[in-house]
Chains A and B, each alone.
Chain A
Amino acid sequence: MNKIGLIIQREYLTRVRNKTFIITTLAMPILIAVLIAGIILIAVKGKEDLKVAVLDNNGFFKGNLKSGTDLSFDFPSGVDTSNYLDKGYSAILILPKFDGTPKTQYYIRSKKSIGFGTKQAIEEKINAAIEDNMLQQVGVRRNELDSIHTLSRFAELQPVVEHGNKTEESNQELAYGIGYTSGILIYITMLIYGMMLLRGVMEEKTNRIAEVIVSSVKPFELMMGKIIGIGAVGLTQFLMWIVLIMVLSGSVQFFLPHDVMQQVQALQRNGGVMPGGSIMQASEGAQKFYGITHALGTANWPLLIGCFLFYFLGGYLFYAALFAAIGSVVEDVQNSQSLSLPVTMPIIFSFLIMSVVVYNPDTPLAVWSSIIPFSSPIVMMTRIAYGVPGTVPYWQLILSMLSLVAGFLFTTWLAGKIYRTGILMYGKKVTWKEMIKWAMRK
């Protein structure tokens, strides 16, 4: 036992002291935080500011075509396609006579190409103007229309999940985000650390230090030491990331403009409603920010982080042993790639399953692939994000965890036998068939 400890210590320390490890560990959350801050900033700062001159041949658009926050419509005279830029407009909208045919084509001309979102916004506004015009023609007055438009925004779908006799807010967007992110993280790290292990074992073999070491310790001890040591490196990296992300996300608010932050605080105090008035008073940015922080608060973080660490470690251990076995039989990188394909394939395949399951977490495919240890580390996390025991009943979670533990005990036992033979075998190209033969041997 003491010797496994020594091996774990060496594997761990040589990697953690490595410059690349320190840099990636520190840089990753900062990079992610900067990215998130950037996205929020852009969302707060708004989109393109577009001033559009309208050439209307109908007459009813003036008054019905409403300007928005980033989009203003003007109906100037004496402006045409040749001089709209000189007159201070960034685009000109040409509305030919509307004859009632569907898919009437309108044109907007601008120097710079307008964005996809802006195009949709203008389209919607034109449609709304036409709709309003039609309603006016059957006798609805303009001021009635305005009050109907403001008053009719009722629906905001709020899914609620039942827990016995309690109910809980559920947030599909958040579940999707968390599920997808943790699925990707486990997928990437399983491959990264699995490959790291493979290279480490191969290095020991090609360096011929393996023979020196196995004259001091049992091959199985060496293999376990390496697997645990590298797993500890991965765990360290995750824990550091979690701490760093928490610290950094706490500081995201300092990137927000002061007035927006005040609105957010006001929203937080009053449970999402601006004091003394309707929610519409708060700016779009402040609402978004409040929405994100509020939604994040609804997730069960201790459960999520706990399960994440379990499935990361379980998945790592399940595949690591197989990677170690491959590392022990190869002597060059090329050969290792072709031999590791059967191991990386299920990982990639479970990633594909995960990207389907994240939309439909309750299908039989989702249930079974989150229980079978080949794919459970990646798939189960995306389902857990949707809620335990709502989407994932306890029996499924327990069965999945138990089968993962049983799975990695089995792969480790199997790999140990291949490793024992492979690590001292030189000058021979080993095939999967032979590896299986070694594994089956007593």
Chain B
Amino acid sequence: MNLLEIRNLKKYFATQKAVDDISFTIEKGSIFGLLGPNGAGKTTLIRMITGIFYPDEGQIMLDGRSFDPTLDVVNIGYMPEERGLYKKMKIGEQAVYLAQLKGLGKQDATKKVKEWFIKFEMESWWNKKMEDLSKGMSQKLQFVITVLHEPKLIILDEPFSGLDPVNANLIKDEIYNLARRGSTIIFSTHRMEQVEEICDHIVLVNLGKKILDGSVQQIKQDFKEHKFSIQLSEPPAASESSAFDIIEQKQNRLVVKIREGHASNDVLQYFLHQQATIESFHEILPSLNDIFIREVEGTKSETRAFQKL
């Protein structure tokens, strides 16, 4: 079942089509990657999903119903890329306040904030002020504030920036936990290795349009270049074949590209014929990073900061 369904969403600013006819669906409980270069329209898209902007055209369906910004506030948790909290306000009060703004009662909010603070070993922070926290600490706090009210849809924009590996893992585990408990997560980032690791499904947008949509595995398959890596026990005697080209060779290790009309078994057969011992053989799939760069490169993506209104 789909938690979020976006149909032909459009948002035009005076001189730019920030979001130009984008549609996709997100399955309930999945971790969804929203990718794109700076200025691709990600933030505008997210702001429409969080109800900050109204779309010019198109529809957003949340949990089978048409999305209503006022009612659905409590169903969404949004952690923007540029984050910040009140500097002079005590952390505990701040977390409770923001949870109340989401629609939680005061007691309920206080209880939940305390639970999360214990979970993240932040109990001693309650009376500290925001300005006394390090960047990593405030990041953790921001994450807690985002997920506190157990929203159905959690939107995280670059959640790991500024975190050390220990805290990054803590948050990552928590993201998996949330997904397991039924929350759906939209994850927006530039860091492709994180996307490959975490996301089930991705959408790549550029210049306001959707370029790619699919599961990580599917997309990698779609972009595969039929490259294989072979390790032999000793360097091959001959390496001329009609089935493949050698792209790289380091002693007994080769990277080959299979020609049109041939299959991976042709490569194995060729080397088996030579009586070579094959130690390993596996396909090289392109990294999301490569795909991302290939798809985006050459297009004139403009950052929002310089766009004219």
Contact = CB atoms under 8 A, between A and B. Distances in A.
Contact of A14 (B70, B83, B85, B88): B88
B151 to A, nearest CB: 10
Interface string A402-442: 00000000000000000000001011100000100000000
| Interface footprint category on A | 20 to 34
Interface string B7-27: 000000000000000000000
Nearest to B46: A215
A211 B86 contact: no
A30 interface: no
A424 B51 CA distance: 13
Contacts of B50: 215
A42 interface: no
A36 interface: no
A331 to B, nearest CB: 12
B170 interface: no
Given A212-B98, A216-B101, A424-B52, A207 B86 contact: yes
Contact of A209 (B51, B52, B85, B309): B85
Given A212-B98, A426-B305, A207 B87 contact: yes
Interface string B68-94: 011001001011101111111100000
A14 B98 contact: no
Contacts of B98: 212-213, 216
B73 A208 contact: no
A209 B86 contact: yes
Given A207-B87, A424-B47, A6 B78 contact: no
A208 B164 CA distance: 22
Nearest to A7: B101
B176 interface: no
Nearest to A213: B101
Contacts of B70: 218
Contact of A207 (B79, B84, B101): B84
Contacts of A434: 309
Nearest to B86: A209
A16 interface: no
Contacts of A305: none
B100 interface: yes
Which residue of A14, A215, A426 has the most chain B CB atoms within 10 A of its CB atom?
Answer: A215
B145 interface: yes
A294 interface: no
A14 B97 CA distance: 12
Interface residues of B, number: 29
Nearest to A437: B309
A208 B305 CA distance: 15
A304 interface: no
A377 to B, nearest CB: 30
Contacts of A211: 52, 78, 80, 82
Interface in B127-174: 145
Contacts of B80: 208, 211-212, 215
A43 interface: no
Interface in B39-62: 47, 50-52
A72 to B, nearest CB: 63
B97 A212 contact: no
A214 B52 contact: yes
A428 B305 CA distance: 7
A217 interface: yes
A219 to B, nearest CB: 8
A6 B100 contact: yes
A237 B80 CA distance: 37
Interface in A285-344: none
A212 B83 contact: yes
A314 B82 CA distance: 36
A217 to B, nearest CB: 6
A6 B73 contact: no
A7 B98 CA distance: 10
B210 interface: no
A218 B101 CA distance: 11
A216 B309 contact: no
List the 6 closest A-B pairs by CB distance, nearest first.
A207-B84, A208-B84, A427-B305, A216-B101, A215-B50, A208-B82
Given A212-B80, A212-B98, A213-B101, 10 more contacts: A3-B101, A207-B86, A208-B83, A208-B84, A212-B79, A212-B83, A215-B73, A218-B70, A428-B309, A434-B309
26 contacts: A3-B101, A6-B97, A203-B87, A207-B84, A207-B86, A208-B82, A208-B83, A209-B85, A209-B86, A211-B80, A212-B84, A212-B85, A212-B98, A215-B50, A215-B73, A215-B78, A216-B101, A216-B102, A218-B69, A218-B70, A426-B82, A426-B305, A427-B304, A427-B305, A428-B305, A434-B309
